[in-house]
Amino acid sequence: PESADLLAAAKEFANDIVSGRAELKRPAQDFSGLDEVIATATKGVLKASRGRELPGPKYALQAIKEGLKVPIAEGLALEVECFMNVLKSPESRGMINTFFLKTYSDKPQTMIPKGFKTGSMNKFAVLGFGIMGRGIVVEILRRLQKPVVVKDLPAALEPGKAAVQKVLEGMAEKGRLAQPVDQLMKLIIPVSEWTDEFKDVDVVIEAVFEDPAVKDEVYRSLCGMVSENCILASNTSSLPVNLLAGSVKNPGRFAGIHFFSPVWKMELVEIIRGKETNEDTINNLIALAAALKKRPVVCNDNPGFVVNAMLFPYFIKTYELLAEGVSIESIDAAMMKFGLPVGPVRLTDEVGIDTSYLVLTKSLKRIAPPSLENVYKAGRLGRNKNGKGYYDKDGRVDPEVLPLINPDGKKAEYSETEIQQMLFTPFVVTGHELLEKKIIADPRLIDIGAIWGIGFPADKGGPMKWADLTGLSGKLYKKDFYK
């Protein structure tokens, strides 16, 4: 057969090469364009990393560029050297930690005690059809394909449905839905009054306006409509869960479940235990998070919970640096060089200057630094809200805001590293307080919250791991957070 002839010919050819009877002639490789290719690849890497020179891509490109120009033995030795440089880097240790955080949070069900039987989750209700309510509905339809009662004012229902449909259609175009969009949309049960549709609901997620009086009225009405076993969860981002629990009949079934926006893109969810929340409720919400493909961070009630609790001191320090005379550009640039997707001043603009001010002064009862208060009181709500913020509509720092931030015209300069240390030290201090006060049980959960909740760079491993790697935790507390 032909295969036998081919094998025999191959063996004969190999023997001729080994014995020296035949000389193997390879065409000469032309690497004249290699430097240009590497330069183009380097530009692409820097663009993807927002200008950060990460050791992995850097040394990979170096191994290719230099290794192809020398004999194979030298090239392999160079590759080993490059690999060891990457392996010993802080970024490598950070990425390894992030990998373990990912594998841990990939399976939230492992957080549930063995033998626990998850309650029924065949019908849901979402109260409030604004931005967060719509996102939660999208995820229930996309992941669970279960009926969901949606309650809001009549004028909000159709726009809400249209927004949900638009998101689902975008997912369908990418092949990310298990059922056709029209079938999923039929699972939405829109209501503007309390109806019998609530009687057999298993889980209610409340996402109404962040006002204790509004939520109090909602819960007092809701508790008369749902069963005693129905789980009630609030998507509040700023109100104490213990405060809201006072409006709930049988508060053991009540907890916080704080999604991040946009809900269908953000993997993190905080599950907040109130003083009276029972563990069955927490375990059921963990199971729900797992079904929704989220990474849950379970914590006890606390102002800002975990993620926002760490963000607030970060923003406060930002405003203090602005008032001191540090430029907006240098602060945002330092944070992006660190690896954050956006700097704190620009993020304030995007979230809303009014939102930041009200959360700080009303929810946290803190005095706002002048660099925030003056801007807010001047009617600048944020570039994305009324076109007036720290930045103008073209994305440049608005010169009109500078006298509001720093009326005395003070000037202060710090290096990128100094700015990074000053802004992230409060992160670490807050994380330590959360652990000491037993708000959260594990530094890994803090790092999961930071990486998947606010985009803390994966190569840093999370703020608590970063503190260990840089020696900050040892300097502050004489010990590492990770054992």
Cα Rg, the chain, nearest whole Å = 28
How far is residue 140's CA from residue 132's CA, in Å, rounded to a whole number? 13
In sequence order, what are the beta bridge partners of 296?
A: 269
Q: Which residue has the tokens 């240790």?
A: 93
How far is residue 96's CA from residue 75's CA, in Å, rounded to a whole number? 26
CB 205 within 8 A of CB 233: yes
How far is residue 186's CA from residue 296's CA, in Å, rounded to a whole number? 29
Catalytic residue, candidates 134, 151, 215, 258:
258
- Residue 83 burial (C-beta neighbours within 10 Å; 0-12, 13-18, 19+): middle
Tokens of 322: 């602005």
Q: For residue 176, which of 141, 150, 146, 134 has the smallest C-alpha distance?
A: 141
φ, ψ of residue 42 to 5 degrees: the values are -60, -40
CB 260 within 8 A of CB 453: yes
The sheet carrying 124-127 orders its strands as: 188-191, 148-151, 124-127, 203-206, 231-234, 254-259, 268-273, 295-300
* 258 tagged catalytic: yes
- Name the residue type at position 209: F
Residues marked active site are found at 258
